[in-house]
Amino acid sequence: MIQDIPSSLTCFPEASPAKGDYVFQSKGDNIALTPWSRAAKVTQPLVKVGETTLFLGAAPDPIWSDTQYLRRLPSADLRFAGFCANHLSRWLLNHRWCGKCGALLTFKGASLHCTACNHEIFPVISPAVIVGILHQGRLLITRYADRPYRGPALVAGYCEVGESAEATCIREAFEETGLHLTRLRYFASQPWGLSGSLLLGYFAECTDAEVRLNDGELSEALWLAPDEVPPPPDPCGALSLTATMIQAFARGETLL
């Protein structure tokens, strides 16, 4: 998965920009990752992996892309660094003012501080689930109706307040497909910087195979046997937890 890299990663390192580093920019749903030069202006080191640091800032003539571009970076270290930089940069840009008193927040250590009321904010991580639904030796493969990612997917969704991860799996499966889950089993987890999430993967059986696409989030859902599942969508292999779970099913490693 994308977090399986050979080098260690540090968030908010103490670093000054140098040759080999990058400037990370975020604008709406798009990002730009540009090699650092002296013409660039940097404001905050975001992540360091190996000897390379990604800085929040502005570079001349950035090339804007959607965040899916980060999945296609040739270096495993840089891919994961880009994911984490995306997570941290959006947190910083979305939390400029104190939610308690309205004063300007300042960055200190690994958190944001309000000097007016001493309120402290740490990076926000949103828990979400991914569910591999099984029925009589087949896996339910889905595709999103309206998202930049067009590859094979599994049922997924964010945990709500007061809800366990297991309860989220059951609710999301029913809301998206009309299926009732049984025999829910944990598989693995993954930090996913494109959505600022910690993904929790589960496999589960369902009581019947009649799929009803209820809420419009999915464009299709197909029951596939192990030899029918598609390959990972990324050229460098199974980067996502979703792709890892699909390949685990193809190998018979679903823990059910």
User: What was the pLDDT predicted at 67?
Assistant: 93
- Nearest one of 132, 90, 152 to 251, comparing CA atoms: 132
How remote is the C-alpha of 8 from its chain's centroid? 19
| pLDDT tens, the chain, 256 aa long | 999 999 999 999 999 999 999 999 999 889 999 999 999 999 999 999 999 999 999 999 999 999 999 999 989 999 999 999 999 999 999 999 999 999 999 999 899 999 999 999 999 999 999 999 999 999 999 988 877 677 899 999 999 999 999 999 999 999 999 999 999 999 999 999 999 999 999 999 998 999 998 777 788 889 999 999 988 888 888 999 999 999 999 999 887 6
Give the sign of the dihedral formed by CA 200, CA 205, CA 206, CA 209: positive
Q: Specify the pTM.
A: 0.91
SS3 content of the chain, % helix, strand, coil (to 5): 20, 40, 45
**Domain(s) of CATH 3.90.79.10: residues in the chain:** 126-250
Domain 126-250 has CATH 3.90.79.10: yes
